[in-house]
Amino acid sequence: MANPPLAERLRPSTLAGFTGQEHLVGEGAVLRKMIESGHLASIILWGPPGVGKTTLARIIANTLDRPFYSLSAINSGVKDVREVIDKAQKQQFFGRPNPILFIDEIHRFSKSQQDSLLGAVESGIITLIGATTENPSFEVITPLLSRCQVYVLHSLDKAHLQHLIQFAITSDTVLKNKKITISEDEALLRFSGGDARKLFNVLELVVNAEAGEEAVITNQKVTERLQKNLATYDKLGEMHYDIISAFIKSVRGSDPDAAVYWLARMIEGGEDVKFIARRLVILAAEDIGLANPNALLLAQSTFDAVHQIGNPESRIILSECTIYLATSPKSNSAYAAIDAALETVRKTGDLPVPLHIRNAPTKLMKELGYGDNYKYAHSFEGNFAEQDFLPEGVRREKFYIPQNNPSEVKILERLRLWWGKRW
Q: What is the pLDDT of residues 149-171, one digit of tens each?
A: 999 998 888 999 999 999 999 98
* Residue spans in the chain of domains classed CATH 1.20.272.10: 240-326
Cα radius of gyration rounded to whole Å, the chain: 27
CATH classification for the domain delimited by 20-152, as one of 3.30.365.10, 3.40.250.10, 3.40.50.620, 3.40.50.300: 3.40.50.300
Tell me what the mean pLDDT of segment 21-42 comes to. 90
pLDDT value for 107? 86
User: Does residue 136 carry a pLDDT above 70?
Assistant: yes
pLDDT number for residue 263: 93
CA pair distance 388, 394, nearest whole angstrom: 11
pLDDT tens, 346-358? 888 888 889 888 8
pLDDT in tens, 249-261: 999 999 999 999 9
Bond from prior residue into 312 cis (ω within 30 degrees of 0) = yes
Q: Quote the distance between the C-alpha of residue 341 and its chain's center.
A: 24
By 3-state DSSP, what share of the chain in percent is helix, strand and coil, each rounded to 5? 55, 10, 35
Closest residue by Cα to residue 299 from 284, 311, 309: 284
* Local confidence band at 238 (pLDDT 50, 70, 90 cut-offs): very low
Query: How many angstroms separate the CA atoms of 69 and 58, rounded?
Result: 10
CATH topology of domain 240-326: Zinc Finger, Delta Prime; domain 3 (1.20.272)
Rounded Cα distance between 352 and 358, Å, is 10
Closest CA to 135 of 106, 110, 155: 106
The pLDDT-based confidence of 93 (bands split at 50, 70, 90) is: low
pLDDT beyond 80 at 422: yes
Q: What is the mean pLDDT of residues 92-118?
A: 83
pTM listed for this prediction: 0.59
Q: What is the mean pLDDT of residues 75-81?
A: 84
Identify the bridge partners of residue 151 per DSSP, sorted by sequence position.
45
Q: How confident is the model at residue 341 (pLDDT cuts 50, 70, 90)?
A: very high
113 in Cβ contact with 78 (< 8 Å): yes
C-beta neighbour count of 78 within 10 angstroms? 15
In this prediction, what percent of the chain has a pLDDT beyond 70? 95
CA distance 333 to 347: 21
Higher pLDDT, 112 or 55: 55
Q: Where are the beta strands (DSSP E) in 195-317?
A: 214-217
Q: What's the pLDDT at 298?
A: 97
Res 2: pLDDT: 53
- For 364, phi and psi rounded to 5 degrees? -60, -45
Please tell me the predicted confidence (pLDDT) of residue 396: 84
Intervals of CATH 1.10.8 along the chain: 158-235
- The more confidently predicted of residues 287 and 190 is 287
pLDDT tops 90 at residue 300: yes
Q: 196-208 and 158-171 are packed helices; what angle lies between their axes, rounded to 10 degrees?
A: 40
Tell me the pLDDT band of 235, cut-offs 50, 70 and 90: very low
In this predicted structure, what is the pLDDT of residue 267?
87
- Please write the tens of the pLDDT for every residue from 194-206: 888 889 988 988 8
Number of helical H runs and strand E runs in the chain: 21, 7
Residue 99: half-sphere exposure toward Cβ, Cα within 13 Å = 18
Backbone angles phi, psi at 106, to 5 degrees: -60, -20
pLDDT band at 367 (very low <50, low <70, confident <90, very high): confident
State the maximum Cα–Cα separation within the chain, in Å, rounded to a whole number: 88
- Asked whether residue 138 carries a pLDDT value surpassing 80, the answer given is no
Task: Considering only residues 210 and 132, tell me which one the structure prediction assigns the higher pLDDT.
Answer: 132
CA distance 97 to 38: 10
Cβ atoms within 10 Å, residue 54: 19
Contact predicate 78/110, CB 8 Å: no
Q: Which CATH architecture has domain 158-235?
A: Orthogonal Bundle (1.10)
Encode 326-360: b = buried (16+ Cβ within 10 Å), e = exposed: bebbbbbbbebbeeeeeeeeeeeeeeeebeebeeb
Distance CA 265, CA 272 (A): 12
Measured CA to CA, the distance from residue 45 to residue 151 in angstroms comes to 5
**Backbone phi, then psi, for 162, in 5-degree steps?**
-65, -35
Has residue 288 got a pLDDT over 90?
Answer: yes
The pLDDT value recorded for residue 1 is 44
* Mean pLDDT, rounded, of the chain: 87
Which residues of the chain form CATH 3.40.50.300? 20-152
Query: What is the C-alpha separation between 421 and 423, in angstroms, rounded?
Result: 5
Q: Is the distance from CB of 312 to CB of 320 less than 8 angstroms? A: no
Beta-bridge mates of residue 181: 216
So what's the pLDDT on residue 294?
A: 96
Four-CA torsion 392, 396, 401, 402, nearest 10 degrees: 100
Say what the pLDDT of residue 236 is: 43
